[in-house]
Chain A
């Protein structure tokens, strides 16, 4: 704010320290309950100029954007995570509170706070607003969704509410962009206004009992307003929270205040909620009128079906099947196109460059490697589109409600269901979508088991091996043994994922069951713009990964397969030369080196090479087999590769290398093994990044490899003992 405007503030307000705008930039934070249209408002304010990152040390998304106000001043907007209160009992709430107190690492304390409140649900929304008003920051209330409230017969008087709250209230309809200009002006004018502070008084005994605690917080550096709010909050929470860790003697002061409050005959843990809601009841009575229409709302009518004892689960299954089916059928042609594009690109570049290592590096290493990762992009986009639609319409909460009982049987939360289901398409978006799970331990357990769900990259391996070694005979008259084998692989992965989740929740990630206290928001029509932005954001996260970590790893793998060079005799057919080169390369040597380890599973060194090379991505196994067996570029449907596998004999014994038993064992190996760089890269990021993330991803890789090896061993050795071959 410039000097002239500051001077316009009535002298009676005696502006607290002159507002400082670092570099002329005004920092605004948006807070609000979930489902209030806060993100829509944020998008409407900032347009496409957004940056998404993480707060340091936690996987809470940090979304920032900018706009210019009417006077042309730049304003930076931080969209804080949706929260119902500042209790700091979840990572999201903890972040919101520490940002507002100016204690979040690397985040400037906001100059102005905008509380987005849903006019349809004034009571509950005012709870958060009343906490924010006490933090000592200029605050503006965006009273959002006033149109929907009017339709429901709720009329809120914004001027009356302004007087009650001591902070400007602006009515908005974010979905239609209404009220935005007024909101921007209110934000500009709010700088330097005295903070509203507490709008109600505690009973004298309670106030006396809490006073020493407030004093302790002030000594710890909080301003008196914020200290009052924190003192009330601390009476009811079980953990003090890291942002107050520096306050000396706090734990003792909290205990003393609790005892003093209880001694006055007041329940300490309900003091804040009852005081605030008591005050709110009066405010709502004076500012809002509700004409009861008596009609059932649309949401009530939809839920009568969507949550019905019989129709509910049925609808749920149909919806999930639909999502699933579309991911496969819609993504397939797009994936083919991505593949064709990269093949064409490789061909074009290959025809320009002279034959040699450079061409091989660019075509096979860079273009081929990046292409093999980018092929997942269509699935990621489609899956996130569906997840976005489910989330934004309000159905996601219903899905969690329906599935909670089932998921709890393995120690997880209803919210874990959709990410696990996404794992059938691809673990990458599945892991990324675990952010909707609030409890960190539930989230970690979900991430740890998610890659056990058979993803689409395993399909080529299953298809190749089943096509070659499982006879297409009928089972029980109607089923086909090949189809049944495929189903068995999916079931094996799914059941193991659930079992492992139960194991993790009982051991490594042990914790009390998280409550299933969740709002079922009214159904809404999602905004295409918000959908597009969230899908775009996920896609760009993935692309950035593909461009950095994954690109470098594919180059490493290329080098392993290329060096040292073999010198094939002139006249050797290209396929044979390729085979010889692979055998001679470091990768081939690694295959030889691990042969003793994989021999108990019935594999030879060539399968060893396939396994090593498929660390990058499982389906690379099929392509490597094609190279090793000299059938050129192969995919799982190439008859030549199938026949070649069937004909392969052990060098010494002359017996077939691939028996149905080996094939089944190999499939089981791939059900369990975490052979996917893309997933590992995402797991590192989503489990905290840096060393912590690497440790989790490494642990996951190790336990899945152990499972894979153990299970393949059991299948092969057990099968042999039972007389199969």
Chain B
């Protein structure tokens, strides 16, 4: 799987390698502090019952983020 997609478009169970992180400065900063840096493997676990936010796994722990944040993250 080498096509480029946004994290928001990944279905539960799919994984990707982070290529690009864009969007709001504070959110990006926070994601990076938590280890969401380029090259990190990220797996979508599930979406919340109301469809948003989503739960992902990276570096061995679980993180939540909203669609609006996930749309700015490109994965491969």
Contacts and interface: CB of A to CB of B under 8 A. Distances in A.
A512 interface: yes
Interface string A119-133: 011011001000000
A310 B46 CA distance: 13
Contact of B33 (A127, A238, A308, A515): A127
Contacts of B17: none
B14 interface: no
A404 interface: yes
A312 B46 CA distance: 12
The size class of the interface chain B forms with chain A is 35 or more
B3 interface: no
A487 interface: no
A401 B53 contact: yes
Contacts of A85: 33
A512 B55 contact: no
B1 interface: no
Contact of B27 (A401, A405, A515): A515
A124 B35 contact: yes
Interface string A268-299: 01101110010000000000000000000001
B59 A124 contact: yes
Nearest to B25: A238
Given A124-B59, A273-B32, A516 B37 contact: no
B41 interface: no
Given A269-B29, A270-B38, A515 B65 contact: yes
A671 B46 CA distance: 39
B30 A236 contact: no
A85 B45 CA distance: 25
B67 to A, nearest CB: 10
A523 to B, nearest CB: 11
Q: Please report whether the interface of chain B is mostly helix, strand, loop or mixed according to DSSP.
A: mixed
A121 B33 contact: no
Contact of B66 (A124, A512, A516): A516
Interface string B38-76: 101000011011111101000111111110110000000
Contacts of B33: 84-85, 87, 127, 273
A127 B35 contact: yes
A307 interface: yes
Interface string A49-91: 0000000000000000000000000000000000011010100
B51 A123 contact: no
B30 A517 contact: yes
A516 B64 contact: yes
How many chain A residues sit at the interface, stated as a range, is: 35 or more
Interface in A407-442: none
Nearest to A272: B32
A515 B55 CA distance: 14
B7 interface: no
A123 B57 CA distance: 13
A520 B25 contact: no
B66 to A, nearest CB: 5
B60 A512 contact: no
Given A270-B32, A404-B53, A123 B26 contact: no
A310 B27 CA distance: 30
B26 A515 contact: yes
B60 A123 contact: yes
Nearest to A409: B50
Contacts of B27: 515, 517
A118 B41 CA distance: 21
Contacts of B64: 397, 401, 404, 516-520
A405 B51 contact: yes
Given A123-B60, A309-B49, A515-B66, A520 B34 contact: no
Nearest to B59: A123
A236 B59 CA distance: 21
B10 interface: no
A655 interface: no
A95 to B, nearest CB: 16
Contact of A89 (B30, B65, B68): B30
A313 interface: yes
B13 to A, nearest CB: 12
B21 interface: yes
A87 B61 contact: no
A85 B34 CA distance: 8
A401 B66 CA distance: 10
Contacts of A121: 59-61
B69 A517 contact: yes
Given A89-B26, A515-B26, A517-B64, A84 B34 contact: yes
Contacts of B48: 307, 312, 401-402, 404-405
Contact of B49 (A123, A236, A270, A312): A312
Nearest to A313: B49
A515 B59 contact: no
A309 B65 CA distance: 17
A312 B68 CA distance: 23
A513 B53 CA distance: 13
A516 B61 contact: no
Contacts of B51: 405
A402 B49 contact: yes
Interface in B11-33: 21, 24-33
Contacts of A516: 53, 64-66, 69
Contacts of B53: 401, 404-405, 516
A154 to B, nearest CB: 9
Nearest to B31: A517
A702 interface: no
Contacts of B63: 517-520
B32 A236 contact: yes
A639 B29 CA distance: 63
The 9 closest A-B CB pairs, nearest first, are A273-B32, A405-B50, A85-B33, A515-B27, A520-B62, A238-B25, A123-B59, A516-B66, A516-B53
19 contacts: A84-B33, A123-B59, A237-B29, A272-B32, A273-B37, A274-B38, A299-B62, A307-B55, A309-B49, A313-B49, A402-B48, A404-B48, A404-B52, A515-B27, A515-B65, A517-B64, A519-B62, A520-B55, A520-B64
Given A270-B37, A513-B68, A515-B27, 8 more contacts: A85-B33, A87-B30, A121-B59, A124-B34, A303-B45, A512-B24, A515-B24, A517-B30
